């Protein structure tokens, strides 16, 4: 019995040994096979990553690679923090590549999904870095160095009778237009019903560079013929003319800027308005004008010009300049107390330009006519002494009448008969 048991145990032991050896051989083979698979997958990972990066094997991988490449460039601008962000993005990308390789045997779509996730990770990392290093002109964050702390003061620390408190802000009014939700954003448009413009005012011209203009033609108080072409000429200084933007798309859409000399870069306009008389005192309606023209060309020898084709109907007018920055906003200068940056003159348009520019109420014209008639009678009667005497008397009377008439004519009879230029 014991002998049989010993034999059975021996056979069992031998069988287990063989089985164990066979199992060990199998494990070794599996281990070798596993190593081979791992090497193969690693090689596939490297190859797959290169292919995805170069050719965009699938959409997800393309996105991941693109995010890393694009944001990495921006991150370099951001200094040390940005570089760290870029490195993190790179690590994310490497992990993605490894992950993609490991799952490559299971299908390219999975690798693509992993690549997309890595792309998202890389984008997030570099975007965070970009917050400290992106171009301030494209960033949506207010740069600390441009915050105007004075905007928080309403000005009432220096009270003056009638002075009202200023609006205040601690963030440069960047969201001011949100306070008037009933108004559209100007957005470069000329919105007749009104709008809110978020563009800053820009560079303010120094006192040494304040623009100024003066009309050369027509002159103040001039009389010009009706319905006849005439040229408006205006001398201008401290405005670098020839700069104008699309008034339909860029109206008030950018800050004022100056050139290297400090002069505003912009252009001018002229507007002519009809008046009821030269001494009209009621305000005009800005919606109504007889002529308007932007002077967009560069000034020639300091003078801007434009022709008024067909002239103007007979009447009384004023002409004014509107000196502007490039985006059509009025010129802005450094101080409140300054002379006018624009010019305005008054003139008359007459059907008979040599005649008066007044209403005919002045006695100067009438007196001058009397004197002229008397002088004519004197000349025709010069042959006889009696006639000459009468002529002398008449002439004397005519001069007296003319003088009296001129005195009565006041400022409408500035230099005697036929001139009739308004004195201002």
SS (H, E, C) the chain: CHHHHHHHHHHHHHHHHHHHHHHHHHHHHHHHHHHHHHHHHHHHHHHHHHHHHHHCCCHHHHHHHHHHHHHHHHHHCCHHHHHHHHHHHHHHHHHHHHHHHHCHHHCHHHHHHHHHHHHHHHHHHHHHHHHHHCCCCCCCCCCHHHCCHHHHCCCCCCCCCCCCCCCCCCCCCCCHHHHCCCCCECCCCCCCCCCECCCCCECCECHHHCCEEEEEECCCCCEEECCCCEEEEEEEECEECCCCCCCCCCCCCCCECECCCCCEEEEEEEEEEEECCCCCCCCCCCCCCCEEEEECCCCECCEEEEEECCCCCCEEEEEEECCEECCCCECCECCCCCCCCCCEEEEEEECCCCCCCCCCCCHHHHHHHHHHHHHHHHHHCCCCHHHHHHHHHHHHHHHHHHHHHHHHHHHHCCCCCCCCCCCC
Residue 14 within a domain = yes
Tokens linked to 46: 């490297």
Asked whether residue 249 falls in the same domain as residue 365, the answer is: no
At residue 208, the pLDDT reads 98
Tell me what pLDDT residue 41 has.
33
Is residue 9 very low, low, confident or very high in pLDDT (cuts 50, 70, 90)? low
Residues 364 and 276 in one domain: no
Say if residue 295 is in the same domain as residue 213: yes
237 and 330 share one domain: yes
Domain membership flag for residue 278? yes
- Mean local confidence (pLDDT), 94-99: 38
Task: Choose the final residue of a domain: 133, 151, 181.
Answer: 133
Distance CA 401, CA 46 (A): 113
Residues 216 and 264 in one domain: yes
Domain stops at, among 133, 148, 175 = 133
Whether residue 63 has pLDDT greater than 90: no
So what's the pLDDT on residue 319? 98
For residue 223, being part of any structural domain is answered with yes
Q: Are residues 106 and 19 in the same domain?
A: yes
Instruction: Return d(Cα 233, Cα 301) in angstroms, integer.
Output: 12
Is 169 domain-assigned?
no
Whether 255 is covered by a domain: the verdict is yes
pLDDT confidence of 378, banded at 50, 70, 90?
Answer: very low
Same domain (yes/no): 223, 320: yes
For residue 49, what are its two tokens?
Answer: 């990553």
pLDDT band at 322 (very low <50, low <70, confident <90, very high): very high
Q: Could you tell me if residue 231 is inside a domain?
A: yes
Q: Give yes or no: residues 123 and 243 share one domain.
A: no
Which residues constitute the domain of residue 29?
A: 2-133
Q: SS3 of 40, please?
A: helix
- Which residue would you say has higher pLDDT here, 35 or 250? 250
- Tell me: do 71 and 42 sit in the same domain: yes
User: Same domain for 263 and 367?
Assistant: no
Q: Are strands 264-275 and 315-321 parallel, antiparallel or unpaired?
A: antiparallel
Residue 15 resides in a domain: yes
Please name the helix (run of DSSP H) or strand (run of DSSP E) that holds residue 319, with its range, or none.
strand 315-321
Give the domain-ending residue among 102, 133, 164. 133
Domain-embedded: residue 385: no
- Residue with the bigger pLDDT between 39 and 145: it is 145
Judged against a pLDDT cut of 80, whether residue 122 lies above it is answered with: no
Q: Report the domain count for the chain.
A: 3
Residues 364 and 343 occupy one common structural domain: no
User: How confident is the prediction for the chain on average, in pLDDT?
Assistant: 69
Q: How confident is the model at residue 353 (pLDDT cuts 50, 70, 90)?
A: confident
**Structural tokens at position 419:** 């001139």
Of 47 and 208, the one with more pLDDT: 208
Confidence of residue 98 (pLDDT cuts 50, 70, 90): very low
pLDDT band of residue 157 (cuts 50, 70, 90) is: very high
pLDDT digits (tens, 9 = 90+) for 355-371: 444 443 433 344 344 44
What percentage of the chain carries pLDDT values higher than 90? 51
| One domain, residues 282 and 371 | no
pLDDT at 108 over 50: no
Which is more confident, 100 or 162?
Answer: 162
List the CATH number of the domain containing 310.
Answer: 2.60.40.10
């Amino acid at each position: 019995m014991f002998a049989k048991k010993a034999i059975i145990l021996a056979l069992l032991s031998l069988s287990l040994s063989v089985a164990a050896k066979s199992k060990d051989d199998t494990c070794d083979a599996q281990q070798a096979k596993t190593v081979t698979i791992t090497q193969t997958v690693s090689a596939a990972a490297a190859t797959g990553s290169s292919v995805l990066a170069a050719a965009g094997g699938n959409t997800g991988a393309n996105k991941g690679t693109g995010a890393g490449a694009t944001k990495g460039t921006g991150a370099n601008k951001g200094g040390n923090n940005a570089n760290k962000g870029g490195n993190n993005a790179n690590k994310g990308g490497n992990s993605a590549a490894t992950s993609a390789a490991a799952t490559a045997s299971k299908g390219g779509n999975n690798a693509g999904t992993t690549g997309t996730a890595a792309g998202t990770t890389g984008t997030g990392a570099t975007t965070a870095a970009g917050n400290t290093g992106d171009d301030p002109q494209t960033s949506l964050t207010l740069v600390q160095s441009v915050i105007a702390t004075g905007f928080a003061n309403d000005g009432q620390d220096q009270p003056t009778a009638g002075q009202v408190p200023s609006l205040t802000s601690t963030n440069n009014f960047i969201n001011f237009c949100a306070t008037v939700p009933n108004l559209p954003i100007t957005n470069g448009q000329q919105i007749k019903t009104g709008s809110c413009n978020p563009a800053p005012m820009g560079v303010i011209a120094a006192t040494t560079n304040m623009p100024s203009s003066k009309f050369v033609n027509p002159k103040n108080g001039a009389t010009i013929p009706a319905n006849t072409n005439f040229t408006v000429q205006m001398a201008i200084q401290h405005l670098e003319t020839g700069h104008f933007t699309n008034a339909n798309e860029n109206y008030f859409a950018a800050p004022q800027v100056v050139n290297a000399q400090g002069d505003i870069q912009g252009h001018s306009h002229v507007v002519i308005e009809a008046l009821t008389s030269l001494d009209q005192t009621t305000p005009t309606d800005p919606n109504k004008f007889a002529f308007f023209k932007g002077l967009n060309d560069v000034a020639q020898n300091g003078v801007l010009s434009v022709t008024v084709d067909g002239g103007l109907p007979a009447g009384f007018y004023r002409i004014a300049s509107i000196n502007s920055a490039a985006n059509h906003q009025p010129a802005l200068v450094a101080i409140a107390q300054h002379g006018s940056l624009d010019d305005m003159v008054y003139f008359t348009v007459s059907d008979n330009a040599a005649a008066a520019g007044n209403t005919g109420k002045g006695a100067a014209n009438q007196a001058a006519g009397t004197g002229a008639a008397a002088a004519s009678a004197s000349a025709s009667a010069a042959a006889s002494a009696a006639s000459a005497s009468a002529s002398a008397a008449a002439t004397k009377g005519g001069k007296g009448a003319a003088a009296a008439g001129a005195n009565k004519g006041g400022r409408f009879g500035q230099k005697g008969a036929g001139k009739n230029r308004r004195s201002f």
